[in-house]
Structure 1
Amino acid sequence: MGPVRQLKRRSRLPAVAGICLLLAAAGIGSATAPVWAEEKLPSEASAPMRSVSGLAVPVLQPLELGVTPLDGATGVNPASLPAVKAVNGRVLEVTLRPENGGGPVPGSLSADGSTWTAEQPLDFDTVYRYRFTIVDGAGRTTVREQRFTTVAAANEADAALYPRAGSTLGAGQPLEIIFSEPVKNKEALERAVTVTASSGQPVAWHWYSDRRARIRPETFWAANATVSVDLRLFGVDFGNGMVGNADTRIGYTVGPQRIAVVDDTTKTMNVYIDGALARTAPVTLGGEDWLSPTGYAVIMEQERSSRFNAGSIGLKPGDKGYYPPLTVEYANRLTTSGVYVHQALESAWGAVGRANVSHGCVGLLPADAAWFFATMKPGDVVQTLNTGAPPVEPLEGFGDWNIPWNVYAKR
């Protein structure tokens, strides 16, 4: 399994979008607030609807026009929905299209004809041109054009989710999101991602860096549940001018809840499937110089045969504990540093269930190793007890379950 990128569109207006107020008096002009016409107001003393002489307020309210984004705006969030609003008037027609070619952006008018709003998000790094026609209360029409530019492609931000879409989750598999750009606005990102489990289990985020976050429930995923992840990242402000470029929805199923409990005190492994004991097997663990880590680990990957090299754990010829490259059978990786559950070497079979002789791995006899490999799957849980070593670090694989829930859930 590997990260997958599969994302697509939506979100919110940037600070650069604003309101451009225009006034229809002697034509429509651009301003930051309504501007009254400078010419003297006409006398309405002789108007049929007036009964007193002298100056009075205009009978027609001035037309004000609100347009988003502003004329000439740059760095516009493509998730923003451009809009044209006429106050004391109506919008007759609006055309919004890429300046360098392409079809118009679809939009709709409000029931009272006062507001036109785009109905789909825009493209990144594109110059758009507005052309709109409005009419005031006296029936006078005005046509106006303006333009703006969306966020450059260099400011697009992406995300990849692990495991791959459609995978079957093991009970202990956290979801991991890797962001292409540092996330400064973490709260906004969390709001934009919804994780729903059919089991009703709530989840929490844990940020390991500005680009890496993991998500898990308080207890292991319920057996046979479905989990959906809705990433609505299009247009989300990551911070530092970076904007999410896509939305996606990803679904998973959860397999049976398989948990192996290894106890150094008894030198045994008990494997439970959906809470029922399925197998008990003797084990050998890490010797006194190479204690097996305690706590929870999650199976990362499985290899029928795996090549082991002492150099991967920092040993070289002549060092205590060095061994030449060798092949082990039924290898189930628990940590990036090389802790596995695997078939013990033939020279260690006599120690299985009696003494610890490994370099930190969990060693099994051939029949038990073959059964474990065939039964357990990536994402399943291995808990190790009573070795005297500290727990597996969270990023040494998926040691997230060794962080207390009330700590894990804190940003």
Structure 2
Amino acid sequence: MFPKKTLLSVAGVLAATLLVSACSSGGDTAGTAAAPGAPGAGSNQSAPPATVTIEPANADNISPTTPIVVKAANGKLLDVTVTSAKGKAVAGKVATDGLSWTNTDVLGYGGTYKIVAHAQSTDGKSIEKDGQVTTLSPTKQANANLIPAPSAVKSSGVGVGQPIVFSFGVAVKDKAAVEKALNVESSPKQEGSWYWMDDKNVHYRPKVYWQPGTTLTVTAKIYGVDFGNGVFGAEDRTETYKVHDSWIAKADGNSEQMQIFHNGSMVKSMPISMGKDATPTHLGAHVISDKQANYTMDSCTYGVCPPDPKAYRSDEKFSQRISNDGEFVHENPNSVGQQGSSNVSHGCINLNAANAEWFFQNFGLGDVVEVTNSGGPQLPVWDLYGDWSKSWTDWQKGSAL
């Protein structure tokens, strides 16, 4: 039997030992199970399941340009298929990290598309996610028709005064939305701007004439663009124009001469006869829009028909149109005696046979005829290519942006 004092000492030692063990952060923990959720318990806990989201999710009436985006979390995408109602696959691409997929093909109007995505979580378990979207159906579709037609000037190029024209064939309500989808990139870079002539036609011209040798890349990214009133863009379009040498003719009604400038240097002068007092030639810069070696000029084409005394119909040679109301540069043997001395035409610029043929051979679409001292009014901005009648400040006001 131990003495009472000895028993108390042993109890104190045991208590101290237990206290040290309870507070210690080290020591051997082998064989000790960690509490659920505590560090060290991960090997016994399953990985969180993978999740897949589709954007837009089961949406109707979306724009065909709205991207379909499939995303994975807590895992990676295995595959994504998007198919139309007719079974056509829509191409797409999985991101390098395997966490997202986006379509690379554009969708069509008025279509239904089924989406099936498979993903795998980190523990190897697979899941499937399905979805569906439908695209809007336009009341009408608008095409971006270009003037001049790129095919018509592919070999010849255009002159320094040529505006670029988009004609849509239907009225555009939201001009700002459409204009944002249009672009003209000039090389070398030159300042330019759009001008809406009316609800269907928008023109682009530089601040000053194009530099000779300029390349123009014209783009209309209108597919899926809402024109307003149920009209949407039919398809995107990109075309390229080349600006040829500078050819500018300066026709003076006082001197009755037309001086010809090639790349800034005068190379020729020829006698002319412009419009008489009753039918004066318009003032200002005209741009050639068409050329025909043989052409029947009929005033009825712009509303002046017999028995109006101003009406006429005649067959002419080497004709180049400079406005949409009957003004041409052309040969006229009947006015040779007045060429260089008086104005007797219906508004055209008359030349003798030799000068008319020379002019026809050297001038073409987009080249410029500047008219001064004709006694006529300014060429209206809306008269085909009356674009240069506006100052740069006023021209910029015609933009919808």
Q: TM-score range by the shorter chain?
A: 0.7 to 0.9
Q: Structure 1 residues 49, 112: closer, same or farther in 2, change over 3 A?
A: farther
After superposition, residues 193-204 of structure 1 pair within 5 angstroms as 193-204=182-193
SS in 2 for 1:169: coil
Which whole-Å CA distance do the structure 2 matches of 1:274 and 1:234 have between them?
39
What residue identity is the alignment partner of 1:263?
A: D
Which whole-Å CA distance do the structure 2 matches of 1:180 and 1:274 have between them?
36
Q: Provide the residue aligned with 2:104 in structure 1.
A: 119
Residue by residue, what CA displacement relative to the aligned partner does 1:132-165 show, whole Å, maximum 9, x if unpaired?
2345677664323222212336554321112222
Aligned 8 A contact 2:139 2:230 in 1: no
Structure 2 unmatched ranges of 5 or more: 1-33, 41-45
Q: Structure 1 residues 112, 305: closer, same or farther in 2, change over 3 A?
A: closer
Which whole-Å CA distance do the structure 1 matches of 2:306 and 2:99 have between them?
81
Q: Structure 1 residues 117, 311: closer, same or farther in 2, change over 3 A?
A: closer
Residue by residue, what CA displacement relative to the aligned partner does 1:306-327 show, whole Å, maximum 9, x if unpaired?
223344455555544455x322
Which whole-Å CA distance do the structure 2 matches of 1:316 and 1:89 have between them?
78
Which whole-Å CA distance do the structure 1 matches of 2:280 and 2:56 have between them?
62
Cα shift at 1:60: 8.1
Cα shift at 1:181: 4.0
TM-score (norm 2): 0.80
Aligned 8 A contact 2:277 2:375 in 1: no
1:336 aligned to 2:324? yes
Which whole-Å CA distance do the structure 1 matches of 2:306 and 2:91 have between them?
70
Q: Provide the residue aligned with 2:241 in structure 1.
A: 252
Higher mean Cα deviation, 273-282 or 111-120?
111-120
1:163 aligned to 2:152? no
Q: Provide the residue aligned with 1:396 in structure 2.
A: 383
What residue identity is the alignment partner of 2:191?
A: P
Aligned 8 A contact 1:157 1:245 in 2: yes
Q: Provide the residue aligned with 1:301 in structure 2.
A: 290
Q: Provide the residue aligned with 2:261 in structure 1.
A: 272
1:327 aligned to 2:312? no
Q: Provide the residue aligned with 1:22 in structure 2.
A: none
Cα shift at 1:289: 1.1
Higher mean Cα deviation, 308-317 or 217-226?
308-317
Which whole-Å CA distance do the structure 1 matches of 2:133 and 2:214 have between them?
47
Cα shift at 1:185: 3.7
Q: Provide the residue aligned with 1:108 in structure 2.
A: 93
Aligned 8 A contact 1:77 1:243 in 2: no
Q: Provide the residue aligned with 1:75 in structure 2.
A: 61
Aligned 8 A contact 2:143 2:234 in 1: yes
Aligned 8 A contact 1:272 1:278 in 2: yes
TM-score (norm 1): 0.78
Q: Structure 1 residues 186, 313: closer, same or farther in 2, change over 3 A?
A: closer
Which whole-Å CA distance do the structure 2 matches of 1:211 and 1:321 have between them?
31
What residue identity is the alignment partner of 1:342?
A: H
SS in 2 for 1:350: coil
Q: Provide the residue aligned with 1:291 in structure 2.
A: 280
SS in 1 for 2:371: strand
SS in 2 for 1:407: helix
Q: How many residues align?
A: 357
Which whole-Å CA distance do the structure 2 matches of 1:241 and 1:134 have between them?
39
Cα shift at 1:213: 0.6
Q: Provide the residue aligned with 2:10 in structure 1.
A: none
Cα shift at 1:180: 4.2
Which whole-Å CA distance do the structure 1 matches of 2:38 and 2:338 have between them?
109
Higher mean Cα deviation, 369-378 or 137-146?
137-146
SS in 2 for 1:351: coil
What residue identity is the alignment partner of 2:384?
A: G
What residue identity is the alignment partner of 1:145?
A: D
1:98 aligned to 2:91? no
Q: Provide the residue aligned with 2:70 in structure 1.
A: 84
Q: Provide the residue aligned with 1:372 in structure 2.
A: 359
Which of 224, 236, 240 is 1:235 aligned to?
224
Q: Structure 1 residues 247, 363: closer, same or farther in 2, change over 3 A?
A: same
Which structure dedicates a bigger proportion of its chain to helix? 2
What residue identity is the alignment partner of 2:316?
A: V
SS in 1 for 2:336: helix
Which whole-Å CA distance do the structure 1 matches of 2:310 and 2:95 have between them?
77
What residue identity is the alignment partner of 1:294?
A: L
Which whole-Å CA distance do the structure 2 matches of 1:96 and 1:321 have between them?
66
Which of 162, 165, 173 is 2:162 aligned to?
173
CA RMSD of aligned residues (A): 2.8
Higher mean Cα deviation, 150-159 or 370-379?
150-159
Cα shift at 1:378: 1.9
What residue identity is the alignment partner of 1:160?
A: N
Greater Rg over alpha carbons, structure: 2
Q: Structure 1 residues 188, 363: closer, same or farther in 2, change over 3 A?
A: same
Residue by residue, what CA displacement relative to the aligned partner does 1:331-363 show, whole Å, maximum 9, x if unpaired?
2111221111112242x2221111111111111
Q: Structure 1 residues 388, 65: closer, same or farther in 2, change over 3 A?
A: same
Aligned 8 A contact 1:124 1:152 in 2: yes
Aligned 8 A contact 1:193 1:231 in 2: yes
Which whole-Å CA distance do the structure 2 matches of 1:289 and 1:233 have between them?
46
Cα shift at 1:401: 0.7
Structure 1 unmatched ranges of 5 or more: 1-44, 52-58
Aligned 8 A contact 1:295 1:402 in 2: yes
Q: Provide the residue aligned with 1:129 in structure 2.
A: 114
Q: Provide the residue aligned with 2:20 in structure 1.
A: none
Which whole-Å CA distance do the structure 2 matches of 1:110 and 1:301 have between them?
52
Which whole-Å CA distance do the structure 2 matches of 1:179 and 1:318 have between them?
36
SS in 1 for 2:345: coil
Aligned 8 A contact 1:296 1:391 in 2: no
1:225 aligned to 2:210? no
Q: Structure 1 residues 61, 283: closer, same or farther in 2, change over 3 A?
A: same
Q: Structure 1 residues 89, 210: closer, same or farther in 2, change over 3 A?
A: farther
